[in-house]
Amino acid sequence: MSLLGSPEGTRFQVDMDDKTSLYIDNDTRVAPLKETLLEPSNLESLPLSEVEMSISSNSVVTATPDSTFVPLDNYAAMDTGEPPGEDQMLRAPDSSVVGHSNLFLYHDEFKERPAIASAINSITNYSSAIPLAPGDPDAKPVEKANLGTIMGVYLPCLQNIFGVILFIRLTWIVGTCGVIEGFLVVLVCCSVTMITCISMSAIATNGVVPAGGSYFMISRALGPEFGGAVGILFYIGTTFAGAMYIIGAVEIAMVYLIGPDMSLFGPDINDDFVKFNNYRVYGTLLLICMGTIVFLGVKFVNKFAAVALFCVIGSIVSIFVGVFVNIHGNDKAPLCLLGTRLLSKVANCTKDPVASPDVWNMYCDRLSNYTDIPMNETTPDMYKCEEYFEANVMNITQGIQGMSSDAFYRNLRNKYYDAGTAISSSPLETEYNLGGKPAKNQVTVDILASFTLIVGIFFPSVTGIMAGSNRSGDLADPQASIPVGTLCACLTTSITYLSSILFFGATVDPLLLRDKFGQSIGGSLVIGNVAWPHPKVIEIGSLLSTIGAGLQSLTGAPRLLQSIAKDGIIPFLEPVAVVSSRNEPVRALMLTICICQIAVLIGNVDAIAPLLSMFFLMCYMFVNLACALQTLLRTPNWRPRFKYYHWSLSLVGVGLCLAVMFMSSWYFALIAMFIAGVVYKYIEYRGAEKEWGDGIRGLALSAARFSLLRLEDGPPHTKNWRPQILIMCKMDEKLNVKHKRLFTLASQLKAGKGLTIGCTVVQGEFGKMYGESQAARQSLKQVIETEQVKGFPEVVVNESITDGICHMIQTSGLGGMKPNTVILGWPNTWRKKEDDGTQVFVNAIRNAANGKMALLVPKGIQRFPDTGDSVKGNIDIWWIVHDGGLLMLLPFLLKQHRTWRKCRLRIFTVAQVEDNSIQMKKDLKTFLYQLRIDADVEVVEMHDSDVSAYTYERTLIMEQRNEMLHDMRLKQKTRAKMPGRRLSLNENPLYQMKIKGDPGSTLVEDISQSNSIDNLLDPSRHQDLGISMQKSPNKVKFSEELNGDVEDDMPPYPEVNNKAHNHVKPAMESIPPENANVRRMHTAVKLNEVIVAKSHEAKLVILNLPGPPKVMGKDKDCSYMEFLEVLTEGLERVLMVRGGGREVITIYS
């Protein structure tokens, strides 16, 4: 257990069932230690907030006035993708401070930031499963189903895509449009969904997508306004889809299974009044029954889904088998023709008053002088018949002709006719135009069809591609399963529909294809007569699958509405956010049933389908738009695992969706867009103020002002975080930029699309340095333009460089466009110069940390590649401290630039004795997979080891150098008189020191006459003071209790003479190095050994920058610089990184 971030001045009480050790430091931070036991008596005196809470073991508590309880197993839930508050920013349990003896250089970092082992383990253990309902403590925890690609994505998508249109309308579409245009109808609709599948796959694999489907993806990609609008449209579309399935089920039952006996309004079920009123009544009853089932038992719905899926797949297989079994046709569907006109099914298809009296009496009237003769004794000359009946004969033809016939050729062209015209095989108007006469038993066209209308009717049969992404919480590997499963399902259904167009056109007679309700074959499903072994297989299977699809719609729509309401972006929906004790959205279900009833009252599948298409098309359009915008904007969080997408393809999808919407029904399209616009403006009205400018420039200024005010609302979302860079550059005497490669590095990071400010500080009095400041600004502007950096120059005049840098860090930027990242060049000559350069550099690091800004310190910037170069090799990341993910984000951004594109990422992290290195590697791989970052992973084990003599000696020399510099500053005159000699680097430098008895008189003897004292101050030029190439194997034991004393003798060195050796030993013993310095140097040496061994050939090494010393002072700053120098020795290009105190990368979409 750990208690984090406790405020001062109050009491804190903890009710515990185990004894945990606590340690209270000066900042009232509580961390577990073994030395102190937690007792009630100890707690009474703690200056912490007065809060009572029960705490189970293995937990993390954020002790703030509004304290929260977070199980340690779900610690990664703090990384929700939302901007963390001040009490959330990268706090680590202080237990990580204890130990890490090999990483003491990062001692101060571990107080505030978690070590990698604990952070990675917590994040990878996060589960996106739906949490338990509130107030249900006895419920079993939600177990993840761990479904694969087939069961979790492919089959659910098939079930949702294949629908009622396939069974009751596809044959009519082929007969009306013809094979060519019917193929185009299906191709256009399938192209829309295929492109949307590609865009959706990119979005769905861009992080963890909890349940919520398109609403979650679009709202997180385009914002709450678009997300809310599209979510409402998708909800209405899903609800109307339920109504369409209900009406389709009633139509199958009444027209194809039961017949006129089911009618409540008369026996003529072909009459629109009778038909649609029956659909409305029975549809309402079926809706009530299905709503009750959903309310009472969702488990039944899920089990019935398997039955419905079996029916769908079985029916389709039966149809395709039947096409090949009946290759020469069959006699299951005989058609009766009067001339070229199709007639309803009759008992005897012949023109004879005795053999077929029903047909004869429809078209003929008995003459007045033959009325007394019985019907079975009459002859044709006793009747006066209609002209067309007399002029044509009645004949029978096969409805199912098989692929061996010429049906395919006769079905090629379209046959669009006005409503009420007879279905005829002749294109002559005299044949199909009834001329206002009653149709009798002739089958007629019920609606005026067109290509665009049929597109709208067919499109609902290709929807349902979101089924896989909606189940992402139950998938074992969503980022792999969703693209493969969805695209395969879309491809399977597209091939099925396209081949069906060809097979139906080649198998069925054109007249039968145009008979929408199967009147000519006695109300049987046309597609059922093609299937094998019996038509009833298709009729029953289609009925069950349609009911199953309707249940799925009534189950999914309320949950979608409840998730929208729960987000709180639409206030009037807040009441439906409430769930029952069984975690069921009952209120949302009631509202869904009411809306579905409105669609059921329409009563006509052909009228519901185009309206339904509008809502789905709007949703798909925004999915494509989200993918295109994310790709074009190149946000740092846009890292989809699915790579086979392109922004231009997504834009084509947007155009296709718009085109199909207006092709199908322009007024329905406007209604859908109006609903989306109303929801969008309503959400925007709650959180933003629209601002318009006057004229082009005024509009630009107004848009900029509006955007800045919107950005000022709060810190950016973690997904939108990008490096807004502040480059601290140095000028030479001629006010030219010294290190232009700093701007090159910023340019290579421009994949983040962030703003860059190049700044410098001109030392002097502001009133006298205006000209110099303008010259420096112009120089900065030229470099910015040359390096193609998107940004602005800024110059500050100040008498103190440190104050000027502090001013820039505090005040640069405007509103929400303030820099969040500082690039600070490494002072290569910090050892040689006697000015305040070291202190300026370290203070700049402190100021950046105080400003909560990330910090990048490139070392060896002169050797960094130019913009036009191409680097091939490895980028090595040494991840020691979790800094919010900045070490992960930076190499990803660099790889987006052509300079670093060919590089391979390798991530190293350090395991201590108490860490499980195998588990760390597994967790790190999982974390990188969730981040969509491809990299090799290696865990380096650093066991506790003794401090080497080299480390101890290097520390001693560093401290003596600091003491020398301190005395030299105090005694300027003495320093001025010092001869220009240096230490001999061929012998142990300690032999050449002589410490005078006077504590204020440290002098250097035996210094060569040939070189200046700069070589003493910059010993790294001679390979680590001459001893790094030959480190002694002897060890020096170090412990806290000795307070820095040496346990063993110092290692022997080559003796120049015994006198010198005897002279130096008391000097070493009299000035032992500081305990902490030895430990920090030990970390630097050990880490450097490992980094150089693993990454000496890397093109770039990125590692955590240790925090600057808390205690300010020139000696401390010089020691800190020495530690960094030792840490990075032997590396050509190094980028040291320190996070700004917030998460900058997330696993979420």
- Classify the phi-psi angles of 4: left when phi > 0, otherwise alpha if psi is within -120 to 50, otherwise beta: beta
CA pair distance 660, 666, nearest whole angstrom: 9
Residues pairing with 793 in the sheet: 758
pLDDT of residue 1082: 83
Compute the distance between CA of residue 427 and CA of residue 228 in angstroms, rounded to an integer: 51
pLDDT score, position 749: 85
Task: With H, G, I as helix, E, B as strand and everything else as coil, classify residue 398.
Answer: strand
Q: What Cα–Cα distance (Å) separates residue 837 from each residue in 345, 826, 829?
A: 101, 10, 9
pLDDT, one tens digit per residue, over 47-66 is 333 333 333 333 333 333 33
468-508 pLDDT, tens digit per residue, is 777 666 677 777 888 899 999 999 999 999 999 999 999 99
CA distance 152 to 150: 6
Question: Which has the closest alpha carbon to 613: 450, 497, 455?
Answer: 455
Weakest mean pLDDT among 269-278, 731-740, 997-1006: 997-1006
Confidence of residue 212 (pLDDT cuts 50, 70, 90): low
Whether the pLDDT of residue 41 is over 70: the answer is: no
Q: How far is CA 450 from the centre of its chain?
A: 41
137 vs 301: which has the higher pLDDT: 301
Burial track 976-1004 (b if 16+ CB lie within 10 A, e otherwise): eeeeebbbebebbbbbbbebeeeeeebeb
Over the Cα atoms of the chain, what is R_g?
Answer: 40
Residue 1047 clears pLDDT 60, i.e. is over it: no
State how far the Cα of 338 lies from the Cα of 288, in Å rounded to an integer: 45
Which of 83-97, 993-1007, 1107-1121 is most confident? 1107-1121
Q: Which residue has the higher pLDDT, 275 or 270?
A: 275
Q: If you average pLDDT over each of 314-328, 532-546, 626-640, which comes out highest?
A: 314-328
Q: How confident is the model at residue 210 (pLDDT cuts 50, 70, 90)?
A: low
pLDDT band per the 50, 70, 90 thresholds, residue 560: confident
- The position carrying tokens 């590649």 is 865
Q: pLDDT tens-digit profile of 134-162?
A: 444 444 444 555 778 888 889 888 888 98
DSSP output for 19-37: --B-EE-TT--EE--SS-B
Mean pLDDT of the chain: 76
Q: How far is CA 573 from the centre of its chain?
A: 26
- Cis ω before 533 (30° cut-off from 0): yes
Q: State pLDDT tens for residues 574-587.
A: 899 888 888 888 99
pLDDT in tens, 712-725: 656 666 766 778 89
Handedness of CA 809, 863, 831, 1139 (dihedral sign): positive
Q: How confident is the model at residue 82 (pLDDT cuts 50, 70, 90)?
A: very low
pLDDT at 563: 83
pLDDT of residue 3 exceeding 60, the answer is no
887-939 pLDDT, tens digit each:
888 898 898 888 999 999 999 988 877 788 888 888 888 888 888 888 999 99
What span, in angstroms and rounded, lies between the C-alpha atoms of 695 and 63? Answer: 53
Number of Cβ atoms within 10 Å of the Cβ of 27: 9
Contact between 380 and 362 (Cβ < 8 Å) = no
Say which DSSP state 1045 is in.
-
Q: What is the pLDDT of residue 960?
A: 74
- Partners of 61 in beta bridges: 3, 69
* pLDDT of the residue at 925: 87
Cβ contact 955:962 at 8 Å: no
- pLDDT for 272 beyond 70: yes
Q: Please write the tens of the pLDDT for every residue from 385-411.
A: 998 999 999 999 999 999 999 999 999
Q: How far is the first Cα of the chain from the last one, in angstroms, to the nearest whole number?
A: 31
Residue scoring higher pLDDT (606 or 942): 606
Q: Identify the CA nearest to 469 among candidates 124, 224, 199.
A: 199
CA distances from 266 to 440, 670, 877, 1025 (A): 17, 38, 79, 107
Q: Which residue in the block uniquely carries the two structure tokens 């209604």? A: 671
Is the per-residue pLDDT at 95 higher than 60?
A: no
Q: Tens digits of per-residue pLDDT, 241-265?
A: 999 999 999 999 998 888 888 999 9
Query: What pLDDT does 122 receive?
Result: 66
Q: Give the model confidence (pLDDT) of 418-437 as tens digits.
A: 999 999 999 898 899 988 88
